[in-house]
Amino acid sequence: MFHWVEHLPDILGTGALPMLNEPKLIAQCKDKWGFYQQLSKAGIACAIESTLDSDLATLVQRFGLPFLLKPRQGFGSKGIVLVASESQFQRYRADIGPILMAQPIVGNDDEEFTTSAFCNGRGGYFASMTLQRKLSRYGYTDRAKVADTLEFIPAMLELCRLFRPIGPTNFQFRRCAEEVKLLEINPRVSSSTSIRTAFGYNESAMALDYFLNQRDPVQPNILRGRAVRYTDEHIFYEDGVHL
């Protein structure tokens, strides 16, 4: 996605239509620190407080112990460090700023939600679906169940008004005591789109209809249920009998 948006003139020059989100939003999402600064400047309530401060005493005073060091560029949960001691902190201190940023821990792993919305580019959206999820150790959705979107609507609308996303847009939230908090925005089709499709939310089909046929999506009826991802194996023998 980041590569495509850097070569839009070349893609358009071939006659192809790139189904990409708002280019400015894609660029902003590439650096989580820069993205947080945009949220903070706009006074977005669901933003998680972040800093590039590398003084341990200051970080403990602000965030408590443990706290998180998160890669400024990355995806899923890859590269996140849970800092629980000074010796552990010192191993990563030099990376704070150029590579890592610090954040408090908000909510817990059982209160993580991924909401996909088909945004209209004008500060709103046509349709949405939310999953409550458990992450695998590789950072993608491992188990999920269909959840209500209602509690995330105010935060999504606030973000849509600020960034004006268009097309499939993935908002990842944590529920905490006082409100929901935004983990990140992925301005693309959700990586759990196959799960969503099974429950009635086919954002890939919506995208084709919207960008190619100029038909606005409508909110589909979402089935309720749970999903579990698994790895399947296909075996191919050299004799060709089982091809």
> What's the CA gap between 215 and 209, in Å, rounded?
6
pLDDT per residue over 185-200, tens digit each? Answer: 999 998 889 999 999 9
* Of 129, 168, 157, the residue nearest 45 (C-alpha): 157
pLDDT per residue over 63-117, tens digit each? Answer: 999 999 999 987 656 788 999 999 999 999 999 999 999 999 998 888 999 999 9
Q: What is the mean pLDDT of the chain?
A: 91
Question: What's the topology of domain 23-42+107-228?
Answer: D-amino Acid Aminotransferase; Chain A, domain 1 (3.30.470)
Q: Is 70 exposed, middle or buried (0-12, 13-18, 19+ CB in 10 A)?
A: buried
Residues 6+ apart with CB under 8 A from 86: 56
Give the pLDDT score at 191.
Answer: 85
Give the pLDDT score at 90.
Answer: 96
Residues in a beta bridge with 185: 171
Distance, first Cα to last Cα, the chain: 34
- pTM equals 0.88
pLDDT per residue over 11-63, tens digit each? Answer: 999 999 888 999 899 999 989 999 999 999 999 999 999 999 999 999 999 99
> What's the CA gap between 38 and 185, in Å, rounded?
13
Give the pLDDT score at 6.
Answer: 87
The full set of domain ranges for the chain reads 23-42+107-228, 56-103
Whether 243 shows a pLDDT value over 60: the answer reads no
Whether 137 shows a pLDDT value over 70: the answer reads no
